[in-house]
Amino acid sequence: MGWGGDQREKVMLVEGQEGYEMRADTPNGDIYHTPAFWCATTQGSGADIQSLPEDSPWVRDSIKQHGRTRSWLPGQRFSPIFQITTMAERLAFVIKFAEAFPDASRCELVIEFTGLADRSLDETEPGVSYSLDRRSAVGSRRLSASVGLTALGTDPAETGGALLGPISDCSTALPSTATRSAPW
């Protein structure tokens, strides 16, 4: 798969809760992967930590090869399509993970971005861009949503939009099944 270092899932014990965790480090010269960490416990909690895909060497090289004229350096851009894809993957996992907890009716989702200061919204696709003059004024943002599992399974895009919308200023509307805990 290309991951280096400790990449296999393993059983863990955190504060008396058993679960699984995986740490994936990237070996020197690996441009296709970014470091990642995830864990999921038998009590139904979990976390996923990764660097922004926008900052990977693979993305920068791919952009050059596809005729993009503007440089794409680490820490300068924030791509909504990367965040939408990542959110969809995480919500699909939560929906499937929730099946192991038949008595659960709601889940708490938290998304936290760091390293946002001075990034501008942009896309990797040639011809697609946002205002390069508008840059993030904050270094981090944290949003949370309490979502009914039935609603999440029926329309995960609505929940994903509620969590990602304020980050990219695409939408500030919250679905009726979610509540935002951080003021914007």
Rounded Cα–Cα distance for residues 173 and 38 (Å)? 29
Residues 85 and 169 in one domain: yes
Residue 56 lies in a domain: no
Q: What is the pTM of this model?
A: 0.73
Chain length of the chain:
184
Residues 86 and 32 in one domain: no
Residues 146 and 182 in one domain: yes
Residue 112 lies in a domain: yes
Residues 38 and 90 in one domain: no
Residue 97 lies in a domain: yes
Rounded Cα–Cα distance for residues 59 and 51 (Å)? 13
Residues 91 and 178 in one domain: yes
Q: How many domains does the chain have?
A: 2
Residues 27 and 85 in one domain: no
Rounded Cα–Cα distance for residues 2 and 164 (Å)? 29
Tokens linked to 122: 């942009």
**Would you write out the chain's pLDDT as a tens digit for each of its 184 residues?**
344 444 566 777 777 888 888 777 776 666 666 677 888 888 888 888 888 888 888 888 888 887 777 778 888 888 888 888 888 888 988 998 888 888 989 999 888 888 888 888 888 777 776 666 677 888 888 888 889 998 888 888 888 888 777 665 533 333 333 333 333 2
Residues 118 and 174 in one domain: yes
Residues 2 and 37 in one domain: yes
Please state, in angstroms and as integers, the Cα–Cα distance from residue 95 to each residue in 105, 131, 155, 163, 179, following that order: 11, 35, 11, 16, 18
Residues 119 and 159 in one domain: yes
